[in-house]
Copies of this chain bind each other. A is one copy, B any other.
Amino acid sequence: MRENTHFSEKRQAIYNFLSESKEHPSAETIYNALKPRYPRLSLGTVYRNLMRFKQEGAAQYLTVVDGHERFDGNVSEHAHFVCDKCGAVADLDITLPESINRPAEQGGYEISFRQLFLHGRCPVCATKKG
């Protein structure tokens, strides 16, 4: 829910879905989820608005996981678990210490944000064989 810029109904719907979702949806996932309620929604609109949210920065950032971009409405720094079998992405409550920035900063790098990915099997896939 925001006020400053004029949010069209669809833009608002995309924003809401992203904010409320915990599944780090791809553009297509969002599109499929909203299509029933907004039959005239187009995939291009979803992409356009996600890119806009991303550029507005404060809103959310993206991560490329399994070939598609996945979006995250949670702006605070947090780690992600990526299941390499089913592709699910889950939030993890891991806080990285500031100190890990040191080597990079001393090398002249300017750090804007950090991403930690743990890869492996999610609890569901861990029990299955293969």
A118 neighbours in B (Cβ, 8 Å): 101, 104, 109, 111, 114-115
* Residue in B closest to A95 when the chains form the complex, CB atoms: B100
- Shortest distance in angstroms between A71's beta carbon and chain B's nearest beta carbon? 15
A side interface size, CB within 8 A: 33
- Shortest distance in angstroms between A91's beta carbon and chain B's nearest beta carbon? 10
A122 neighbours in B (Cβ, 8 Å): 108-109
Also in contact, A120 and B126, with CB within 8 A (given A64-B64, A92-B103, A103-B93): no
Chain A positions within 8 Å of B, measured between CB atoms, are 64-65, 67, 79, 81, 84, 90, 92-94, 96, 100-101, 103-104, 107-123, 126
